Amino acid sequence: MSLTAGVIAVQGDVEEHTAAIERAARAHDREVTVHEIRNAGLVPDCDLLAMPGGESTTISRLLHSEGIAAEIRAHVDAGKPLLATCAGLIVASSDAADDRVEELGLLDVTVERNAFGRQKDSFEAPLDVAGLDEPYPAVFIRAPAIDDVGDATVLASWDGRPVAVKQGSVVGTAFHPELTPDSRIHGLAFFENDDATLPALEETA
Ligand code: GLN
């Protein structure tokens, strides 16, 4: 039997996250079955969750209207790992400085949407990330920056601004770790996260 993963699939890079979770699991000798989450009812069965980028206003509205928001909160309350990327980070934050975003408050951070300016709409940067030996090739697309980091820990910064944070079982990145073949961020969030609980190998055997 394998771990059960969920990719929130109301919008965004669902297939890419699925593939990245599968690669990270293989690298950690774990088996995983990934489900796409579009409705309430599936999240409670998931051992780990990814919340992709997209448009944070749309994602937060759909998560609440579909009843998935409360399930994601319960998932995190239970100490299970969540990786929230780009718009996913905005939705997971406690303050997105935008009335159209209904934040989940899972990361004690303030974010600024589209913070890196027009000329830098999209760029790739070699990022030093706490917990990784080599720089991570981070792809930023209309990315948010993180302004106030309350109880969260900064894992990486770019241009002097935090772009990856961790708080308990939740990891948030302003960039898109699903868009490169390098699955180390998924590995860090799900399989090397000391603050998160995953069923032990023998429990799933
Ligand atoms: N700019 C988007 C937002 O503010 C996020 C972009 C992304 O997820 N690539 O919601």
Å from CA of 56 to ligand 1 middle: 6
**What is the secondary structure of 63-88 as a DSSP string?**
HHHTTHHHHHHHHHHTT--EEEETHH
pLDDT classification of 202: cutoffs 50, 70, 90: confident
Q: Is residue 97 part of a domain?
A: yes
What pLDDT is stored for residue 185 in this prediction? 98
Q: What's phi and psi for 137, nearest 5 deg?
A: -75, 95
Residue of 17, 86, 103, 112 with catalytic role: 86
Answer whether residue 205 shows pLDDT above 70: no
Contact 7, 18 (CB under 8 A): yes
What pLDDT is stored for residue 180 in this prediction? 96
The Cα 112–Cα 72 span in angstroms is 22
Contact 31, 204 (CB under 8 A): yes
Q: By C-alpha distance, which of 43, 51, 48 is closest to 17?
A: 51
The Cα 169–Cα 60 span in angstroms is 20
Residues of the domain holding 114: 2-190
Nearest ligand 1 atom, CA 58: 10
The Cα 34–Cα 3 span in angstroms is 8
Percentage of residues in the chain with pLDDT exceeding 90?
92
Most ligand 1 atoms within 8 A of CB, residue of 89, 112, 142 to mutate: 142
Task: List, for residues 26-46, the tens digit of each pLDDT value.
Answer: 999 999 999 999 999 999 999
User: Roughly what angle, to the nearest 10 degrees, separates helices 56-65 and 68-77?
Assistant: 90
Q: Is residue 199 part of a domain?
A: no
Q: Is residue 172 part of a domain?
A: yes
- How much is the average pLDDT of 7-23? 95
What pLDDT is stored for residue 203 in this prediction? 64
What pLDDT is stored for residue 120 in this prediction? 72
Q: Average pLDDT of the chain?
A: 95
Q: Is residue 197 part of a domain?
A: no
What pLDDT is stored for residue 124 in this prediction? 96
Pocket of ligand 1 (CB under 6 A): 53-56, 86-87, 90, 113-114, 141-142
Task: Give how many domains the chain has, as a whole number.
Answer: 1
Most ligand 1 atoms within 8 A of CB, residue of 90, 95, 99 to mutate: 90
Answer whether residue 204 shows pLDDT above 80: no
Q: Is residue 50 part of a domain?
A: yes
Assign residue 117 the CATH number of its domain: 3.40.50.880
Task: List, for residues 99-149, the tens digit of each pLDDT value.
Answer: 999 999 999 999 999 999 776 789 999 999 999 999 999 999 999 999 999
Task: List, for residues 157-168, the tens digit of each pLDDT value.
Answer: 999 999 999 999
What pLDDT is stored for residue 118 in this prediction? 74
Q: Is residue 204 part of a domain?
A: no
Q: Is residue 195 part of a domain?
A: no
Residue of 17, 71, 112, 176 with catalytic role: 176
Q: Is residue 166 part of a domain?
A: yes
